[in-house]
Structure 1
Amino acid sequence: MTLAKELTGPLAGAGYLREAEFQLRVICRRDGKEVLDRTVTVRAGRSVTLPELLLTGTRCWAAELPSGASAVTVSHPDEQHAAVVTAEAPDLTVTAVNEYRPAALALLKRTTGTGAAAAADREFTVELSCTLTTAPGTAPIVLADRRRYQLRPGTVRPVDDLPDPLPAGARCWLGEPDRNGAAEVTVEHDSAERALLLTTDPASLEVTNRFDTTEPPPPPLPITGSVPGPWAAGSLALLLLGLAARYAARRW
């Protein structure tokens, strides 16, 4: 029995899919008894031949495990559509075809808060990361690893500078290494665990920075006569001494 993997769609020739690994769960039964149940890894554009010899009357099919593809077509996907070993056709082939289509992703910077106007002309650095998992338990394919972009508030930056377009099925997230004076930074999809799953519909990753206005301290209150200072007490003492001296001179 041979398992074959083919790719189709606009991204079938993308560089990141050349060595991609996929997994098919193969099941075979004969006379109602299971004779084979195995998960097999197959690379794109290649095939794998299983070592088991299958007797006449054996029925086999395969299902592909999640691969991030836009669509998956398997020639014999279930028992109702199984491939059957016969004396005339003892060799079975199950082919799985994956379609990969591009996704449209844009990056957006927003500023809020009372001090947002002061940051309107600033440039902010953000870092984009994207991965694609083509088989459970395998290392994800890295599509972008903290790739840097410069954003200004209110502007939209399409991600259109990668060697190959991002595929639907990829997971992307965004980080901002420098707050650039912001009091708070908010990113909904800021890690691999909280990544955005891309589809064929346009999507965006947003970073929002809050800027608060710093109020200057109020000026000191002027000194008024209602609160006498040390100089006022000293002047009063001198005045009283002068009056006392004049009074004493008149008595003599």
Structure 2
Amino acid sequence: MPASTHAGAECTVWETSARGGSSDHPAGDPVRITIKPGYGKNTVETARITNSFEFGALQLVKSVDGDAAQYADGRAFEVEVSCALPDAAGKPTGRVLHKTYEVTADEPVTIKPLPVNSRCWAEEVDTGGAEKAVVDHGSADNPAVISAASDATITVTNTFPAGEIVVTKHVVNGGAGPYAFKLACTTGQGDVPLAGEDSAFELNDGESRTVSVPKGAECTVTETDVPSGDTVTYKTSDGGTDGKVVVDGSASVDVTNTFPETPDTPDHPGGHGDKGNLADTGTTDWTLLGALLMVLALAAGFAVRKVARGSRR
């Protein structure tokens, strides 16, 4: 761009923005020229500035934490990345990238080539059920800057807190157990991959099992192999009776097996009443009475025979 000045003027020229490139004459190293006289004619002096453009790369990193982070293993998250070249003030202007990527916790995504000095930021499209999501360069006001020397990095961290569900067994009029159970939980992301010892287990009367699950999961407790003749009832911490409960921090399910009452067993066959005792008119009393009469009759007969023998003498 031409500019007018007088002959003999000394001028310094520098580049305020290379628009993502590297200038050989930034503000700290300007071009110095002197305007020569034209003796009645305009003269033109030229300040030559060269821009070189290099490329760098951006690492998009996914991190998961929290007590239930293991349940997010292998889960893919969608993250939208934007990059723009800077203006004279270093602020992002025209975008050179605007794209959505899928990233998992164990596989960072490398985005390249990107012009050096590009400003990049990201926004998570789907948090994957996380309670909290934080992006360290989440806006154009706080971008990561692309460099030729090393990869720039944007890290997206999702936090998955855990809740606890407690299953307790009760038995009425029945044996102590053990009794078999299944536990299944789901979130908005689908089934929760519970460990084998947590998805199926056994409990005796009075025993409990505590299982850690993602906070907010909906869990269902089911007793399996229910003994014949008993009634199974469920009582959840939120007042439910179907064994289903939302684990918002902590929750519980009490499972009760009620068996029919067993009548008392008599001590003697055919007996009646408490402890098998016989009534006053039972057959045993008549047997005793008959035996007593027989003994008396025999005694009387013996006495008569003795008297008769005495008379014959």
TM-score, normalisation: structure 2: 0.48
Partner of 1:153: 105
Which residue is 1:194 aligned to?
A: 142
Q: Tell me how far apart the structure 2 counterparts of residues 216 and 167 of structure 1 sit (CA, whole Å).
A: 51
- Are 2:121 and 1:173 equivalent residues in the alignment? yes
Identify the residue that residue 3 of structure 1 maps to in structure 2.
none
Q: Deviations over 1:2-30 (max 9, x none)?
A: xxxxxxxxxxxxxxxxxxxxxxxxxxxxx
Count of aligned pairs: 171
Aligned to 2:8: 57
3-state secondary structure, aligned to 1:93: coil
Q: Determine whether 1:71 maps to 2:71.
A: no
Q: Which amino acid aligns with 2:6?
A: L
Secondary structure of residue in 2 paired with 1:117: helix
1:182–1:75 Cα change, 3 Å: closer
- C-alpha displacement at 1:183, in angstroms? 1.6
Deviation at 1:60, TM superposition (A): 2.0
Q: Structure 2, unaligned stretches of length 5 or more?
A: 174-313
Say whether residues 1:85 and 2:36 are aligned partners: yes
Shift in alpha-carbon separation, 1:174–1:75, aligned structure 2, 3 A: closer
Identity rate of aligned residues, in percent? 25
Distance apart, 1:59 and its partner CA: 2.1
Distance 2:95 2:26 in 1: 30
Contact persistence 2:19–2:85 (CA under 8 A) = yes
Distance in 2 (CA, whole Å) between partners of 1:75 and 1:186 is: 36
Change (3 A) 1:106 1:137: closer
Aligned-pair distance for 1:110? 1.4
| Greater RCO (CA < 8 Å, at least 6 residues apart) | 1
d(CA) in 2 for partners of 1:137 and 1:153?
Answer: 32
Distance of aligned partners of 1:121 and 1:139 in 2 relative to their CA distance in 1, 3 Å threshold = closer
Superposition misfits of 4+ residues, deviation over 4 angstroms: 75-79, 220-224
Counterpart in the other structure of 2:57: 104
Instruction: Give the number of the structure whose alpha-carbon radius of gyration is greater.
Output: 2
1:115 aligns with 2:71: no
Shift of 1:130: 0.9
SS of 2:71's partner is: helix
Does residue 1:213 correspond to 2:162, yes or no? yes
Change over 3 Å in CA distance of 1:124–1:75 after alignment to 2: closer
The reply on whether 1:94 has 2:50 as its aligned counterpart is no
How far has the Cα of 1:210 moved from its partner? 1.3
1:183 corresponding residue in structure 2: 131
The amino acid that maps onto 2:127 is R
TM-score (norm 1): 0.59
The 3 A distance-change label for structure 1 pair 114 and 132 is same
Match of 2:128, SS state, is: coil
| Partner Cα distance (1:139, 1:182) in 2 | 30
- Tell me, in whole angstroms, the C-alpha distance in 1 between the residues paired with 2:136 and 2:90: 26
Distance in 2 between the 1:83 and 1:138 partners? Answer: 33
Query: How far is 1:194 from its partner?
Result: 1.3
Separation in 1 of the partners of 2:37 and 2:91?
36
Q: Helix, strand or coil for the counterpart of 2:56?
A: coil
RMSD, matched Cα = 3.1
* Structure 2: distance between partners of 1:181 and 1:125: 12
Native 8 Å contact 2:67 2:160 kept in 1: yes
CA change 1:78–1:151 in 2 (3 A) is closer
SS, match of residue 182 in structure 1:
coil
2:287 equivalent in structure 1: none
> Do the aligned partners of 2:67 and 2:161 also contact (CA within 8 Å) in 1?
yes
> 1:56 is matched by which residue type in structure 2?
A
